[in-house]
Amino acid sequence: MSLLDTILSLFGIKKSASDAVASAVSSASPAPAPSAADDDDDDDDDDDYERDYDQEAQDDSANFDFDDELEEFFVAQFKIEHAWEDQAKRAQLFAEHGIRDEPHYHQVVATFERWMSKPATLAKYGSVGDIMQVKMNATQKVAQQVIMGGGVEAMAGELEPVEGVTLQQWAKAQAGLAGGGDLQGFLTELGIDQAKWDRVSAEWNARMSRDTTATIATEYSKHFMGAGVGGHAAAGAAGMASMDGGAELKESDAPVTLDKYCEIMAAQAAGSEQGKDAAAILQSFGMTPMEWGQVGGWWSAFIAKNAMKNNGELHKRYTALDEKYTAKYKAADADSDISF
């Protein structure tokens, strides 16, 4: 699963371009009134409350201001739904946002869905897809913390320097080495000898190996991409900065086209399944592993921030290209005329 698919799945958006748009559009329309049988299925789910559909038909946004503080609603919704099984945490989040109880929460969500389909809302945000993009952007960091089990704060101990060498220093040196730099120069810069470098490297690698949340690997990637080394160094650094709230990226500044990015991704995926060497595949596209990492960092950041804008235009293009090149390279193993 690609990073884009992972990001979209957090928000219930399917990979298919047509399904993604349909999912976003359907969420803007109030659901039909449930039948008595539906009530039996939906009411409890092991909770001691029943939904009040008459109440849900009346507008009540609790303490939220959808018009001017939409991001706050999305962040709160994400936190509430991911903490739903923890009743104490759920109640705490309810209290923070003026939500009385579970039926009231469902009423607030129904109110939001009606608000999202209003002409004035669509005039302000452009489309339902644009609103879904606001949701993705607003909750991205929260989602990363959910995936990574609390994020950097929870991993503070494992991110402490190793014998005085920080993760940033180690990642920068590794980037320099990957770019053809001389190890002795980095040892001199760090003020350490070969033996200490070996111990430091072993420990950072061990920490990443035992980190099931990928927090250390993510932080390492940020510093590695931002080291200013490699053919697409500026793009890699811009991508990492954008994911951390930096300047918006423009597709016209992409290190390679979306078409080429999707083709290389599909070639890599198919090649892995067919036992082909990943570096050799990249070389056939005139790219080193470092440059591919920088290209991937830029496109991952750009897609994450723009996938659903303009009724999912970027997501549609991405999906179509992904399907095109996946089909092409799956056939490569049986057709000698198709090469990587």
**pLDDT (tens digit per residue) in 171-195:** 999 988 888 889 999 999 999 999 9
Q: Could you tell me if 27 and 112 are in contact, meaning their C-beta atoms sit under 8 angstroms apart?
A: no
Residue 72 confidence (pLDDT): 94
Q: Could you tell me if 211 and 162 are in contact, meaning their C-beta atoms sit under 8 angstroms apart?
A: no
Q: How far is the CA of 202 from the CAs of 48, 195, 210, 213, in angstroms?
A: 52, 11, 12, 19
CA–CA separation, 166 vs 203, rounded Å?
Answer: 11
What are the residue ranges of helices labelled H in the chain? 3-10, 17-26, 36-42, 53-56, 70-82, 87-96, 102-116, 119-125, 128-147, 151-154, 167-178, 183-190, 194-210, 215-225, 233-243, 258-273, 278-284, 289-306, 309-330
Residue 1 confidence (pLDDT): 44
**DSSP sequence for 162-200:** BTTB-HHHHHHHHHHHHTT--HHHHHHHHT--HHHHHHH
Residue 91 confidence (pLDDT): 96
CA–CA separation, 75 vs 83, rounded Å?
Answer: 12
CA–CA separation, 134 vs 304, rounded Å?
Answer: 11
Hey, is 226 helix, strand or coil? coil
Helix (H) or strand (E) holding 29: none
Domain layout of the chain by residue ranges: 1-27+249-340, 30-116, 154-243
Q: Could you tell me if 50 and 44 are in contact, meaning their C-beta atoms sit under 8 angstroms apart?
A: yes
**pLDDT (tens digit per residue) in 12-27:** 444 443 344 334 433 3
318: which residues sit within 8 A by CB, 6+ positions away?
4, 258, 262, 303, 307
Which residue in the block uniquely carries the two structure tokens 């005039």? Answer: 123
Q: Tokens for 261?
A: 């990015």
Name which of 196, 208, 336, 188 is nearest 274 in CA terms. Answer: 336
CA–CA separation, 257 vs 30, rounded Å?
Answer: 39
**Segments in the chain below pLDDT 70:** 1-47, 144-154, 332-340
Residue 13 confidence (pLDDT): 47
Q: Tokens for 311?
A: 């009724």
Name which of 154, 200, 145, 152 is nearest 173 in CA terms. Answer: 200
82: which residues sit within 8 A by CB, 6+ positions away?
146
Task: Count the alpha carbons within 13 Å of 253 in the hemisphere toward its beta carbon.
Answer: 14
Residue 144 confidence (pLDDT): 64
Residue 329 confidence (pLDDT): 92
